[in-house]
Amino acid sequence: MKAILHVDKEWGIGKSNGLMFSIPADMKFFRETTTGNVVVMGSNTLKSFPGGSPLKNRINIVLYPSGEPREDCKIVRSLGELFEEINKYDSDKVFVIGGAMMYKTLLPYCDEVLVTKVDAVGGADAFFENLDNNPSFELVYESEPQETNGYTIKFTTYRNNDVKKYER
Ligand SMILES: NC(=O)c1ccc[n+]([C@@H]2O[C@H](COP(=O)([O-])OP(=O)(O)OC[C@H]3O[C@@H](n4cnc5c(N)ncnc54)[C@H](OP(=O)(O)O)[C@@H]3O)[C@@H](O)[C@H]2O)c1
């Protein structure tokens, strides 16, 4: 399982239950990486999407303890149920897509984290842990900086050298 996200210079990921930046090059990377795969999110991230609808062309699994079953995505009500669901898929095809609480919960189980770094401060109220300070994580890829839409961004990959196994 992998996590995918963008962060600002302070590892901020969002504000007012929305994203801080809308950067087409990053959205393209996100879409191309996750399409045809499985995306896992918390209830607030689902609610933050247009119309509260899941992402197209992907299997959407949402941890939503008080949620009702629905047709357009798989609602799970506990971590145990989430792991049972994720276990049905090849772990390389499963992407944690937010938000802050979901990333925090699932980070130890992710073997890689794909982080788009935006060289700006977005005024976040939701944060991801700074992986440079986590001894289990190692920066294994960093692209050249790219200028896009008025932002400088870099695509990076962190590898988790101490992956935890899911327990139901
Ligand atoms: N920068 C990025 O790439 C990126 C990507 C995605 C989201 N975001 C941002 O992240 C922010 C939202 O973060 P968030 O933490 O509020 O959202 P979240 O993780 O999507 O949703 C939190 C909710 O999910 C459920 N949940 C998550 N972890 C759980 C656990 N361990 N056990 C039980 N339930 C759990 C709970 O639902 P209930 O409340 O229903 O019980 C919880 O309140 C927004 O600003 C959003 O834009 C940023």
Task: For the chain, give the DSSP string.
Answer: -EEEEEE-TT-EEEBTTB-S---HHHHHHHHHHHTTSEEEEEHHHHHHSGGGPPPTTSEEEEE-TTPPP-SSSEEE-SHHHHHHHHTTS-GGGEEE---HHHHHHHGGG-SEEEEEEESS----SEE---GGG-TTEEEEEEPPPEEETTEEEEEEEEEESSPPPP--
Give the DSSP H/E element, type plus range, for residue 112. strand 112-118
Q: What is the residue-averaged pLDDT of the chain?
A: 97
pLDDT in tens, 139-150: 999 999 999 999
Residue of 10, 11, 28, 44 best suited for mutating to test ligand 1, as the one with most atoms within 8 Å of CB:
44
- Report yes or no on 166 lying in a domain: no
pLDDT in tens, 128-167: 999 999 999 999 999 999 999 999 999 999 999 999 998 7
CATH number, domain with residue 147? 3.40.430.10
Whether 102 shows a pLDDT value over 90: the answer reads yes
Name the percent of the chain lying above pLDDT 90. 98
User: What pLDDT is recorded for position 83?
Assistant: 97
Q: Which structural domain range is residue 89 located in? A: 2-160
Ligand 1 mean position, distance from CA 126 (Å): 9
- Report yes or no on 92 lying in a domain: yes
The number of folded domains in the chain is 1
- Report yes or no on 150 lying in a domain: yes
- Report yes or no on 123 lying in a domain: yes
- Report yes or no on 167 lying in a domain: no
User: What pLDDT is recorded for position 167?
Assistant: 73
Please report the atom of ligand 1 found closest to the CA of residue 65: 41
User: What pLDDT is recorded for position 168?
Assistant: 62
Q: Is the CB of 33 under 6 A from ligand 1?
A: no
| Spatial CA neighbour of 146 closest among 25, 6, 32, 21 | 25
- Report yes or no on 137 lying in a domain: yes
pLDDT in tens, 39-60: 999 999 999 999 999 999 999 9
Residue 89 has phi, psi (to 5 degrees) of: -120, 155
- Report yes or no on 119 lying in a domain: yes
User: What pLDDT is recorded for position 54?
Assistant: 98
Ligand 1 mean position, distance from CA 45 (Å): 6
User: What pLDDT is recorded for position 104?
Assistant: 98
> What's the pTM value of the predicted model, to 2 decimals?
0.97
User: What pLDDT is recorded for position 144?
Assistant: 98
